[in-house]
């Protein structure tokens, strides 16, 4: 079995500064990347910015800047955000880079060679904010203005000469592919939406624009630029040094294991992308997961609605790990979720401070007083083995991750935190001062539970868990998921490091 894993975030439009929705796609992807790395995989984790198209050209014009200068500036804020979010991405791609331009032009030529492209004229609706063409039945009109029913985005009428991709030829092969790969699109509800859309019939897709110039030129016709979605989707290949299919990166990591995206861009990833790849005779990604939106109130965040939650502000007040924990635990993955101050604070107080923080603090304080801050000896009895054995089913946890079941994974951790605190209470080591062997074993078991839970929590709150694991001398390189079923991992007699308070409770008057 290959121990390589390739995961991607969507590449973000640098049309305005990043918001919580972007942070969400990235944090979720980082969670999976970190879990897989801890589980011994070699991981490629890609993020970046999607810099061509009319949307960006117009944003640059509004700011009186040249598109490339404008992108340089805003792309930097996305790159900085990746660092602020502590993403473990292995690459950051910009679609204005030469490696990407080369890759897109190559893919275009292959599509031409495969007789998949023809010249015609496009007449229809186009939404600049979605960068998408829409059919008349997807549009509604209000006061002489026209909008996309599903996204509410304004559309404009476009009539221009355009190259088309023979998408209609791929209707049946796509349906067959979905049928044979029932988990290609997750969650299931979204899969059904895509299938019914395709069953309604696919029209050929306009894949070039002529009336503006901010994009990648078509090699055989410099009057046209390539449609921004064909350009953008190809980033997933460009970062693996496509078109050099003999390159190690490409050989080891394509096809991607999972593209993490928001539900609004499912059509592009689950229909157009596999169709382009099939037409180019390239392997298809193994999964596309369409997550829900982070809502501000009841609405999707967007610049035009002016309801943007700034991740940097939240991180400033509550800390990064709190935000990461909140998004992974409180949002039911696949569905929409929202952020409220009240829920954030309750996450800190009840889960992070009272549950995880408290377990670490009380066990360590007890160990310091009664075991001289050394790992004690252990002589397990049934009570200990019963709680430890919860960590023996590694396949169960791996399976949750491979099905992107973040919520059950988090539930497992929270249950284990409760059980561990309860174990320590029920065992009452403070009453065992006359039975040193039993006292030692309880402390050993509790320390080991802290170690196991910290390993599981590491992809969620990397900074905090590394502080905890450091007391056992486990750093990033030594941290292995598979060690959680080893109940004798900690070496008796070894010193335990010091730990400061992990999360301060928030007291409101």
Please state, in angstroms and rounded to a whole number, the distance separating the CA atoms of residues 264 and 358: 40
CB 362 within 8 A of CB 370: no
Among 12, 35, 108, 325, binds ligand MSP (CB under 6 A): 12
CB of 243 to ligand MSP, least distance (A): 18
304 within 8 A of 151, measured Cβ to Cβ: no
State the nearest-atom distance from the C-beta of 131 to ligand MSP, in Å: 7
Strands (DSSP E) along 243-402, which ranges?
A: 258-262, 288-291, 294-296, 299-300, 337-338
Nearer to ligand MSP, 267 or 452 (CB): 267
- Count CB neighbours of 130 within 10 A: 21
CA distance 421 to 358: 8
Stretch that binds ligand MSP, among 114-122, 228-236, 341-349, 380-388 (CB under 6 A): 228-236
CB of 264 to ligand MSP, least distance (A): 5
Closest contact distance (angstroms) between CB of 11 and ligand MSP is 5
Q: What is the 3-state secondary structure (H, E, C) of 3-17?
A: CEEEEEEEEECCCCC
User: Could you give the CA distance from residue 188 to residue 182 in angstroms, rounded to a whole number?
Assistant: 9
**Which residues pair with residue 141 across a beta bridge?**
146
Give the closest residue to 260 by CA, choosing from 500, 21, 91: 21
Asked if residue 53 binds ligand MSP (CB under 6 A), the reply is: no
What is the Cα–Cα distance from 414 to 409, expressed in whole angstroms?
9
Q: Does 48 bind ligand MSP (CB under 6 A)?
A: no
- Give me 457's structure tokens: 């929590």
Could you say whether residue 351 binds ligand MSP (CB under 6 A)? Answer: no
Tell me if 264 contacts ligand MSP by CB under 6 A: yes
Interaction of residue 300 with ligand MSP, rule CB under 6 A: yes
Which residue among 6, 24, 32, 318 contacts ligand MSP (CB under 6 A)?
24
**5-13, 110-118, 400-408, 458-466 -> range binding ligand MSP (CB under 6 A):** 5-13
What tokens appear for 381 in the block?
A: 């009895």
SS3 content of the chain, % helix, strand, coil (to 5): 50, 15, 35
Q: Choose one: 4-12, 37-45, 97-105, 395-403; the region binding ligand MSP (CB under 6 A).
A: 4-12
Least separation in angstroms between CB 164 and ligand MSP: 20
- Asked if 260 and 5 touch (Cβ cutoff 8 Å), the reply is no
Q: Does 185 bind ligand MSP (CB under 6 A)?
A: no
**Whole-number Å distance between alpha carbons of 182 and 198:** 15
Beta strand 156-165 pairing with 91-94: unpaired
Question: How distant, in Å, are the alpha carbons of 13, 36, 220, 328, 334 from that of 264?
Answer: 14, 27, 32, 20, 12
Is 104 a binding residue for ligand MSP by CB under 6 A? The answer is: no
Q: Which of 194, 261, 363, 371 binds ligand MSP (CB under 6 A)?
A: 261
User: Which residue, 229 or 412, is less far from ligand MSP as judged by CB?
Assistant: 229
Tell me whether residue 12 or residue 412 sits nearer to ligand MSP (CB atom): 12
21 contributes a contact to ligand MSP by CB under 6 A: yes
Q: Is position 230 an interface residue for ligand MSP (rule: CB under 6 A)?
A: no
Contacting range for ligand MSP; rule: CB under 6 A; set: 82-90, 152-160, 232-240, 317-325: 232-240
Query: Does 319 help bind ligand MSP (rule: CB under 6 A)?
Result: no
265 binds ligand MSP (CB under 6 A): yes
Binds ligand MSP by CB under 6 A, chosen from 56, 205, 240, 294: 294
- Answer for which of 13, 125, 134, 333 binds ligand MSP (CB under 6 A) is 13
78 binds ligand MSP (CB under 6 A): no
- Collapsed DSSP state (helix, strand, coil) of residue 358: helix
* Residue nearest to ligand MSP according to CB distances in the complex: 262
Report, in Å, the least distance between residue 26 CB and ligand MSP. Answer: 9
User: Of these, 31, 125, 293, 356, which contacts ligand MSP (CB under 6 A)?
Assistant: 293
Alpha helices in 372-403 (DSSP H): 382-388, 394-402
Taking residue 435's Cβ as centre, other Cβ atoms within 10 Å add up to 12
Backbone φ and ψ for 291, nearest 5 degrees, come out as -85, 170
Using the rule CB under 6 A, is 10 a contact of ligand MSP? yes
| Contacts (Cβ under 8 Å, ≥6 apart) of 428 | none
- Binding residue (CB under 6 A) for ligand MSP from 207, 301, 457, 461: 301
Binding site for ligand MSP (CB under 6 A): 10-13, 21-22, 24-25, 50, 232-233, 235, 261-262, 264-265, 293-294, 300-301
């Amino acid at each position: 079995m290959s121990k390589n894993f390739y995961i991607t975030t969507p590449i973000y439009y640098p049309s305005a500064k990043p918001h919580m929705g972007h942070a969400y796609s990235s944090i979720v992807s980082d969670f999976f990347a970190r879990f897989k790395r801890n589980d011994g995989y070699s991981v490629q984790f890609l993020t970046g910015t999607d810099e061509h198209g009319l949307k960006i050209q117009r944003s640059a014009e509004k700011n009186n800047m040249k598109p490339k200068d404008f992108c340089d500036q805003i792309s930097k804020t996305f790159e900085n955000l990746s660092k602020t979010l502590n993403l473990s991405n292995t690459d950051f791609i910009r679609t204005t880079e030469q490696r990407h331009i080369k890759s897109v032009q190559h893919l275009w030529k292959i599509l031409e060679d495969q007789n998949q492209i023809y010249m015609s004229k496009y007449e229809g609706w186009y939404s600049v904010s979605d960068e998408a063409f829409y059919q008349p039945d997807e549009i509604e009109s209000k006061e002489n203005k026209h909008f996309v029913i599903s996204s509410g985005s304004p559309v404009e009428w476009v009539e221009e000469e355009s190259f088309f991709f023979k998408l209609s030829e791929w209707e049946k092969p796509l349906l067959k592919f979905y049928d044979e790969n029932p988990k290609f699109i997750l969650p299931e509800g979204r899969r059904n939406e895509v299938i019914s859309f395709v069953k309604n019939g696919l029209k050929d897709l306009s894949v070039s624009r002529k009336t503006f110039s901010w994009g990648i030129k078509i090699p055989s016709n410099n009057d046209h630029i390539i449609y921004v979605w064909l350009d953008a989707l190809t980033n997933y290949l460009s970062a693996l040094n496509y078109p050099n299919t003999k390159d190690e990166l490409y050989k080891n990591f394509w096809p991607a294991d999972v593209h993490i995206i928001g539900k609004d861009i499912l059509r592009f990833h689950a229909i157009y992308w596999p169709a382009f790849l099939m037409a180019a005779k390239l392997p298809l990604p193994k999964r596309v997961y369409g997550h829900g939106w982070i809502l501000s109130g009841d609405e999707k965040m967007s610049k035009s609605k002016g309801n943007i939650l700034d991740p940097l502000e939240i991180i400033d007040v509550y800390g990064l790990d709190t935000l990461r924990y909140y998004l992974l635990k409180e949002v039911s993955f696949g569905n929409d979720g929202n952020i409220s101050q009240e829920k954030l604070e309750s996450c800190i107080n009840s889960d992070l401070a009272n549950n995880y923080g408290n377990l670490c603090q009380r066990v360590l304080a007890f160990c310091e007083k009664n075991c001289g801050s050394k790992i004690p000896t252990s002589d397990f009895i049934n009570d200990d083995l019963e709680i430890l054995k919860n960590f023996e089913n590694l396949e169960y946890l791996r399976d949750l991750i491979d099905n992107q079941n973040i919520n059950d994974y988090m539930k497992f951790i929270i249950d284990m935190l409760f059980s561990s605190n309860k174990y320590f209470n029920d065992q009452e080591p403070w009453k065992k001062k006359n039975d040193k062997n039993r006292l030692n074993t309880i402390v050993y078991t509790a320390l080991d539970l802290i170690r196991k839970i910290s390993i599981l929590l590491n992809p969620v709150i990397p900074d905090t868990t590394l502080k905890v694991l450091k007391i056992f001398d486990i750093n990033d390189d030594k941290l292995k998921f598979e060690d959680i079923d080893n109940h004798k991992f900690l070496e008796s007699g070894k010193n335990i490091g010091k730990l400061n308070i992990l999360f301060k409770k928030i007291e409101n008057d």
